[in-house]
């Protein structure tokens, strides 16, 4: 029997104290590791809408620079992470293709911030994602997802390449690793707290 709490009203109250639910978007371009990231860190079985890619999608989804990708998110990913007795993060992973922009806009409503996953081999693919997040008025942090064999850049070079503001946090992570993913989320939460004060 699964002992994890369900998402009913009791999920917001533990030990007599009310928790604060914080909505966070996990965004990034196509095939950057959003589903993997949420799967590595969620304390509940994540909701995933991965579907097998078909030949029909080859004309739409650019697989240049992507190795071994056979599935893609068609709606969203969802996970949960309890940071403390008082704070719970609800993680919403967006599909990476720009044809789902309307869905991104809907998911951005009520979000406190966004973690933008970036592939160091395909930095230019991140421009449209960052533009959208800024358009929605969300504070964000950049998490450079280190795939096997990807180039390693100095932070200053990444900031310059992505045209980031000085106060935008930049961290590296491995979306497959729970601790690494948690560190990236904690960086975002600290940034959001700093901006709120």
How far is residue 131's CA from residue 155's CA, in Å, rounded to a whole number? 20
Who wins on pLDDT, 84 or 43?
43
Asked whether the predicted pLDDT for residue 17 surpasses 70, the reply is no
pLDDT tens for 107-121 read 889 999 999 999 998
Handedness of CA 178, 42, 167, 100 (dihedral sign): positive
How far is residue 47's CA from residue 92's CA, in Å, rounded to a whole number? 10
pLDDT computed for residue 8 by the predictor:
42
pLDDT computed for residue 3 by the predictor:
41
How far is residue 111's CA from residue 90's CA, in Å, rounded to a whole number? 9
Q: Which class does domain 17-196 fall in?
A: alpha beta
Asked whether the predicted pLDDT for residue 174 surpasses 80, the reply is yes
Q: Which residues of 149-159 are buried (b: 16+ CB within 10 A; e: fewer)?
A: eeeebeeeebb
How far is residue 131's CA from residue 184's CA, in Å, rounded to a whole number? 20
pLDDT tens for 66-116 read 565 555 555 578 899 988 888 889 999 988 666 667 777 888 899 999 999
The answer for 185, left when phi > 0, alpha when psi is -120 to 50, beta otherwise, is alpha
């Amino acid at each position: 029997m699964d002992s994890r709490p369900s998402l009913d009203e009791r999920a917001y109250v533990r030990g007599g104290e009310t928790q604060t639910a914080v909505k966070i978007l996990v965004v990034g371009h196509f095939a950057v590791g959003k589903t993997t990231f949420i799967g590595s860190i969620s304390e509940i079985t994540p909701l995933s809408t991965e579907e097998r890619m078909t030949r029909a999608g080859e004309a739409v989804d650019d697989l240049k620079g992507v190795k071994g990708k056979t599935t893609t998110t068609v709606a969203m990913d969802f996970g949960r992470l309890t940071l403390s007795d008082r704070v719970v993060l609800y993680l919403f992973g967006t599909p990476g293709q720009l044809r789902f922009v309307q869905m991104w806009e809907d998911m951005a409503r009520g979000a406190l911030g966004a973690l933008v996953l970036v592939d160091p081999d395909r930095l230019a693919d991140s421009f449209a994602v960052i533009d959208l997040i800024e358009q929605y008025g969300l504070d964000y942090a950049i998490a450079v997802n280190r795939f096997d064999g990807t180039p390693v850049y100095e932070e200053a070079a990444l900031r310059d390449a992505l045209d980031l503001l000085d106060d935008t946090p930049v961290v590296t992570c491995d979306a497959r690793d729970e601790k690494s993913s948690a560190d990236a989320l904690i960086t975002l939460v600290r940034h959001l707290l700093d901006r709120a004060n």
